[in-house]
Chains A and B, each alone.
Chain A
Amino acid sequence: MALATARVSMPKEVGKGDIVEIKTLIRHRMETGYRVDSVGKKIARHIVKLLTVTYDGEEIFRMDFTQGVAANPFVAFTTVATQTGELVFVWVDDKGEEVRVVKELTVA
């Protein structure tokens, strides 16, 4: 995705068993495919289709998007802090392009 910036907000360190709130933002036009330009030509759909999040390799969250999700999508979800490890966030759009963010979570 061109200009693909993504932000992930989550605490760096939590207690074992804590419920962790994770907030994400990704820069994407989420072009609906319904809009028509000033000369009547249809503007092609171009949207994020999927966000998957793994925690030490196991999938903990997934979201299927359609053009009904707002531009520059914000997504928040929760997970249980099990052990110190890596959370990997992967957004995929309908052109197959990917944005990947890795965050380390320290669990006391």
Chain B
Amino acid sequence: MALLPRHAWASPELRDKALNELTGGRPISDGRVTLTIPQVAENGLSVYTTVQVDSPMTPDDHVKKIHILAERNPIARLLTWHLGPRSGTAKVSTNIRLAATQQVTALAEMSDGSFWRDIKPVVVTIAACIDGG
């Protein structure tokens, strides 16, 4: 049975530091981004996550990047999607890993240099029968 070692994990502070690095210190507005994620995750090993951003996705006005950040995972930035006018819409999905109950952030970078976000809390339950198999 594989065990989790001890080592430093991310914290809300490290998540904020990552946000700062991604935005270059520019302000982040709430809105335009919708992060869809279960309120209670059946298993932290695979949590279905969808992000939609309200954007016309034209060459002049589109989403460039979407990042997913966690505040209680080993690392703060979990992934980055790169989109563009050829995307048609800004709608992406994947399954993420969540190490513990925490707030998950979806950060969108627009073509005009602005940043927008949505934050959702997720309760991560322990599986009832800890497997070992």
| A→B interface (CB under 8 Å) | 19-20, 32, 34-38, 42-43, 55, 58, 60-71, 73-80, 82
Contact = CB atoms under 8 A, between A and B. Distances in A.
Given A61-B82, A63-B80, A68-B70, A76 B93 contact: yes
A66 B47 CA distance: 15
B128 interface: no
A36 B4 contact: yes
A37 B2 CA distance: 5
Contact of B79 (A55, A63, A79, A82): A63
A64 B67 CA distance: 9
Given A36-B2, A36-B4, A71-B46, A80 B86 contact: yes
A75 B70 contact: no
B79 A70 contact: no
Contacts of B79: 63-66, 68-69
B73 A79 contact: no
A79 B68 CA distance: 21
Most B CB within 10 A of own CB, among A70, A73, A76: A70
Interface stretch (B29-37, B94-102, B108-116, B117-125): B94-102
Contacts of B83: 61, 77
Contacts of A80: 86-88
Interface string B50-83: 1000000000000000001010011101111111
B96 A61 contact: no
A101 B85 CA distance: 23
Interface in B1-16: 1-5, 7
B86 A77 contact: no
Contacts of A35: 2-5
A47 to B, nearest CB: 11
